[in-house]
Amino acid sequence: MSEGLRRRLGAVSALVLAGAAPLAAQEHAMDEAPQTVIHGFTDVTYLTGGNNTGRTSAFGLGQFDLYITSRVADRLTFLGETVFEYDDASSEFVVDVERVIAQYALSDHFRIDAGKVHTPLGYWNNAYHHGTVMQPTIERPQLVQFEDDGGPLPIHTVGVQLSGRDLTEAHLGFDVLYGNPLGNRPASDDRNEAGSVAAAVHAQLTPALRVGVSGYRDRLVGGTETPSGTALDASMTQTIAGGFLAYFDQRAEAVVEGHDIMNRSAGRTTSSPNWFAYAGVRAGDRVVPYVEHEDMRLADDDPYFTSDRFRREILGVRYEQSASAVLKLELRSLDRRGTDRATEAALQLALAF
Amino acid sequence: MPPSPASCRAGRLGVFIGVAILALGASPRAGHAQLAVVVNPGNTLADLSLDKLRRLFLGQAKTFPTGQHARLARHTPSAATFDRDALGLQPEIVRSRWMALIFRGEVTVVPTDLASADDVKQFVRSHPDAIAFMPAAQVDQSVKVLAIDGKRPGDSTYALR
């Protein structure tokens, strides 16, 4: 983070903390030492499938995820998430710090987060993080896939975020995040001073129904590394606009989410509209058959992305033994650019501990 | 004759499914009793909507309609009944929702689980901002019973029957 951005974040934090309303009550008397809790997630997946080049079958270890929360002081909480995963490029297990957040509760309705957070874009990226046991499908939809797994959205951002929850009779919520731009490394200086801004507004209309819209704007300097590893030819402005509907009750569940990624460079703008829809119906207490459709396209001649078209249909069933142990079976049909087609079956056992 | 690659794959898949199901095991289900929602006698609230009750115990709201912070407690033996009758969800789904809230960073504390009705009454008496549920038959004057959508325990259309 640059010195300039650091100063600005510090000023924003100081202003918000100065205006903090007192909490009505504290949940626990605070001990001198921080109260730290460690949880973890892991999964094992069996994947078999084939395309016109052949068939493959293999077991795969998913991410081994350690999640730490700690009440550091009155109103101040630390949240950390570290993932151990196999990296195809290096053929080794690598460690990724996925979230590091210092969270300050301003009141029962407002809080401020500083650190590496999930960017408040849409529903899936903030509802589900790295523990596959929590999410309804085996993998994240490609649109909200992690950056190092080929996802097009800025899933993580390092910065400071102000959030509001359960506001007004409409049960509105919001998130405003000011952070580093794309291509920035969290431990090095910014390539550019502008920073990125993300904002989301959502409403929990009923205990089961949540709707929302979100936006993101970032300005990248020429030379910034693109997802394919090349350097941007010229400066670029990225604007992302999206929305979602999420419904989860005792019988039915559904998520519909879409984002249009617009990149403007050298006087020309490309548009990459992407969306997915998930729906499931609970059959009994523990079994949820589900379907998912994904449609992702990255524009031709985009200055930042490599052109792509990806469609995937999933027919699956989830067996929830408990909140901490879930078995998922999926049949999938994939179509990349209309020519690279594949079918596959996957079985995953996901655990929280 | 050696097994074909297809039968090997099917065999490995079958073994994996079998091991996974055996590892998951089975869990018991709780019984059923009429419940009362109780608060500290000093709380000015008399009535709570079922919608607000659901939002509180699903972690979507943290305050009473008065704006006062709400501190949640659950009578563990009645929790499954409460989850089904009041929240309209299976207990494991409720557990899953709270786990998700913690991992999202939306909440830092979960409702306090209390093993007996006496523990619930003691907790509610001790905390002016407490709200809890417990068997209606074991309520006494030390706690205040809230009406839910205008109905009290014993009413024919009471939500937590």
Q: B138 vs chain A: nearest CA distance in angstroms?
A: 26
Would you say residue A291 lies in a domain? yes
pLDDT at A339: 78
Report the DSSP beta bridge partners of residue B136. none
Averaged pLDDT, B128-149: 96
Lowest mean pLDDT among A250-264, A330-344, B59-73: A330-344
pLDDT at A194: 62
Produce one character per residue of A252-280: b if its CB has 16 or more CB atoms within 10 Å, e if not: ebbbbbbbebbbebeeeebebbbbbbbbb
Distance of alpha carbon B64 from alpha carbon A166, whole angstroms = 11
pLDDT at A9: 41
The pLDDT-based confidence of A180 (bands split at 50, 70, 90) is confident
Pairing relationship of beta strands A76-87 and A92-105 according to DSSP bridges: antiparallel
- What token pair was written down for A283? 């059959």
Lowest mean pLDDT among A179-193, A233-247, B111-125, B143-157: A179-193
Distance of alpha carbon A148 from alpha carbon A83, whole angstroms = 13
Would you say residue A144 lies in a domain? yes
A-B Cβ pairs (cutoff 8 Å, strict): 113
Would you say residue A38 lies in a domain? yes
Q: Which helix (H) or strand (E) holds B105?
A: none
Q: A230 vs chain B: nearest CA distance in angstroms?
A: 33
Q: Are A101 and A117 in contact (CB under 8 A)?
A: yes
Report the DSSP beta bridge partners of residue A256. A245, A277
Contacts of B124 by beta carbon, 8 Å cutoff, 6+ apart: B38, B39, B40, B73, B130, B131, B132, B142, B143
pLDDT at B14: 54
Q: Which helix (H) or strand (E) holds A99?
A: strand A92-105
Q: B94 vs chain A: nearest CA distance in angstroms?
A: 9
A 10 A CB-CB count for B117 gives 21
Would you say residue A304 lies in a domain? yes
Distance of alpha carbon B5 from alpha carbon A214, whole angstroms = 48
Averaged pLDDT, B29-36: 67
> CB distance B9–A113 less than 8 Å?
no
Question: Which residue has tokens 């819209």?
Answer: A213
- What token pair was written down for A254? 């559904």
pLDDT at A195: 85
Which amino acid is located at A253 in the chain? E
Distance of alpha carbon A278 from alpha carbon A339, whole angstroms = 25
Q: Which helix (H) or strand (E) holds A215?
A: strand A209-220
Using a 10 angstrom Cβ sphere, with 0-12 exposed, 13-18 middle and 19 or more buried, the burial of residue A21 is exposed
Which amino acid is located at A215 in the chain? G
- What token pair was written down for B5? 């690659």
Pairing relationship of beta strands B144-148 and B47-48 according to DSSP bridges: parallel
Of A191, A42, A40, A167, the closest CA to residue A110 belongs to A167
Q: Does B22 touch chain A (CB under 8 A)?
A: no
Q: A201 vs chain B: nearest CA distance in angstroms?
A: 15
The percent of chain B in helix, strand and coil, each rounded to the nearest 5, is 40, 20, 40
Q: Does B51 touch chain A (CB under 8 A)?
A: yes
Residue B23 has pLDDT above 70, yes or no: no
Which amino acid is located at B142 in the chain? S
Write the CATH number for A96.
Answer: 2.40.160.10
Distance of alpha carbon A213 from alpha carbon A207, whole angstroms = 18
Pairing relationship of beta strands B130-135 and B35-39 according to DSSP bridges: antiparallel
pTM above 0.80, yes or no: yes
Closest partner CB to B24 (pick from A109, A127, A325)? A325
> CB distance A57–B61 less than 8 Å?
no
Q: Which of B60, B69, B103, B129 to mutate to test the interface with A (most CBs of A within 10 A)?
A: B103
A 10 A CB-CB count for B14 gives 10
Lowest mean pLDDT among A107-111, A316-320, B4-8, B23-27: B23-27
Q: Are A263 and A219 in contact (CB under 8 A)?
A: no
Closest partner CB to B100 (pick from A24, A101, A134)? A134
Using a 10 angstrom Cβ sphere, with 0-12 exposed, 13-18 middle and 19 or more buried, the burial of residue A78 is middle
Total H helices, total E strands in chain B: 5, 6
The pLDDT-based confidence of A184 (bands split at 50, 70, 90) is low
What is the count of structural domains for chain A? 1
Q: Which residue of B has its CA nearest to A40?
A: B103
Total H helices, total E strands in chain A: 2, 17
Residue A182 has pLDDT above 50, yes or no: yes
Residues 140 through 159 of chain B touching chain A, CB cutoff 8 Å: none
Averaged pLDDT, A238-260: 96
Distance of alpha carbon A53 from alpha carbon A69, whole angstroms = 46
Mean predicted lDDT score pLDDT of chain A? 86
Contacts of A318 in chain B (CB under 8 A): none
Residues 53 through 92 of chain B touching chain A, CB cutoff 8 Å: 54-55, 58, 60-63, 67-69, 71, 87-90, 92
Residue A136 has pLDDT above 80, yes or no: yes
Cα separation values, B114 from A290, B45, B72, B90, Å: 36, 23, 11, 19
Contacts of A46 in chain B (CB under 8 A): 12-13, 16
pLDDT at B105: 85
Closest partner CB to A25 (pick from B58, B90, B129)? B129
Report the DSSP beta bridge partners of residue A240. A216, A261
Distance of alpha carbon A246 from alpha carbon A73, whole angstroms = 34
Would you say residue A276 lies in a domain? yes
Contacts of B96 in chain A (CB under 8 A): 134, 320, 323
Q: Which residue of B has its CA nearest to A285?
A: B90
> CB distance B61–A206 less than 8 Å?
no
Give every strand in the sheet of B130-135, ordered side by side. Answer: B47-48, B144-148, B35-39, B130-135, B71-75, B112-114
Q: Are A49 and A344 in contact (CB under 8 A)?
A: yes
> CB distance B13–A347 less than 8 Å?
yes
- Expressed as residue numbers, the domain containing A338 is 34-352
Closest partner CB to A24 (pick from B27, B69, B95)? B69
Domain range list for chain B: 35-148
Model pLDDT for residues A77-130, shown as the tens digit of each residue:
999 999 998 877 777 888 988 899 999 999 999 999 999 999 999 999 999 988
Lowest mean pLDDT among A10-19, A192-201, B66-75: A10-19
Contacts of A6 by beta carbon, 8 Å cutoff, 6+ apart: none
The pLDDT-based confidence of A196 (bands split at 50, 70, 90) is very high
Runs of H (alpha helix) within B27-78? 50-57
> CB distance B105–A79 less than 8 Å?
yes
Distance of alpha carbon A156 from alpha carbon A158, whole angstroms = 7
Return the CATH number of the domain spanning residue range B35-148: 3.40.190.10
Q: Are A84 and A95 in contact (CB under 8 A)?
A: yes
User: Which has more pLDDT, A57 or A112?
Assistant: A112
Distance of alpha carbon A63 from alpha carbon A85, whole angstroms = 5
Q: Does B12 touch chain A (CB under 8 A)?
A: yes
pLDDT at A89: 74
